[in-house]
Amino acid sequence: MSEISALFEDSIDVKRQIIEDGIYEVLTIMAISIGDAIQKGNKLLLCGNGGSAADAQHLAAELLIRLRPSINRNSLPALALFQDVSTITACGNDFGFDALFERTISSLGKQGDILLAISTSGNSENVIRAMKMAKKLNIQVFGFLGAQGGKAIEFCDQAFVVPSTNTGRIQESHITAGHALMENIEDQLLEVGYITQDS
């Protein structure tokens, strides 16, 4: 077996364990909560670093723009907490990078919103500080984490924890879980008639 095929097998094994252990079931709970929040006029907030930042932006775009080409519907409210280069560098310079998500959620978040915090280690200080601020604002906190969840698990109302310590395998499972979550939210909102599909 080549190194590349072994990587694919490893990724498959992690996802198989997620299925066998029922870890994926929490995504349904998350989807119901997020769908309910959106129906009440609230929004999904997302944050993460590096590849997890890319996942946060990616998933926000799935709600804001479109997820499945076969379903054209109205935009749904989602926001990645890192706004732009000016905001990121200003915060890094003035308050430190660890304050970035905490500071943005303090002004952009409101009671009834939901925070999806993405961290492969579960130990990213800026993510944990955002989770703590969310708790102060009565914002539910959901985590996409890895390994045992790290320090972040303590601040999660619900957590999808990938059973791996390999960053690549965790991120691959996070984006699969993210797509499953977004599809479930979309299906739920279509079913209750909150969103409609364009013909």
Q: Where in the sequence is the domain holding 21, given as residue range(s)?
A: 3-191
The answer to whether residue 80 sits within a structural domain is yes
CATH code of the domain containing 123: 3.40.50.10490
C-alpha pair distances (Å), 73 with each of 46, 102, 115, 188: 21, 32, 23, 13
Q: Residue 79 phi/psi, 5° resolution? A: -150, 125
Per-residue pLDDT of the chain (199 residues; tens, 9 = 90+): 689 999 999 999 999 999 999 999 999 999 999 999 999 999 999 999 999 999 999 999 999 999 999 898 999 999 999 878 999 999 999 999 999 999 999 999 999 999 999 999 999 999 999 999 999 999 999 999 998 999 999 999 999 999 999 999 999 999 999 999 999 999 999 999 998 887 4
Contact 19, 32 (CB under 8 A): no
In this predicted model, what pLDDT tens digit does every residue of 58-86 receive, in sequence order? 999 999 999 999 898 999 999 999 878 99
The answer to whether residue 30 sits within a structural domain is yes
The answer to whether residue 28 sits within a structural domain is yes
Sign of CA pseudo-dihedral 120, 121, 122, 127: negative
The answer to whether residue 89 sits within a structural domain is yes
User: For position 197, what pLDDT does the model report?
Assistant: 81
Neighbouring C-beta atoms of residue 66, cutoff 10 Å: 15
The answer to whether residue 14 sits within a structural domain is yes
Cα-trace Rg, the chain: 17
Number of domains in the chain: 1
Q: How large is the angle between the packed helices 100-108 and 85-94, nearest 10 degrees?
A: 120
The answer to whether residue 150 sits within a structural domain is yes
User: For position 94, what pLDDT does the model report?
Assistant: 97
Of the candidates 57, 16, 90, 68, the residue with the CA atom closest to the CA atom of residue 175: 57
E strands in the chain:
44-47, 78-80, 114-119, 140-146, 158-162
Please name every residue paired with 44 in a beta bridge, in sequence order, or none if there are none. Answer: 78, 114
The answer to whether residue 65 sits within a structural domain is yes
The answer to whether residue 64 sits within a structural domain is yes
The C-alpha atoms of residue 27 and residue 46 are separated, in whole angstroms, by 15
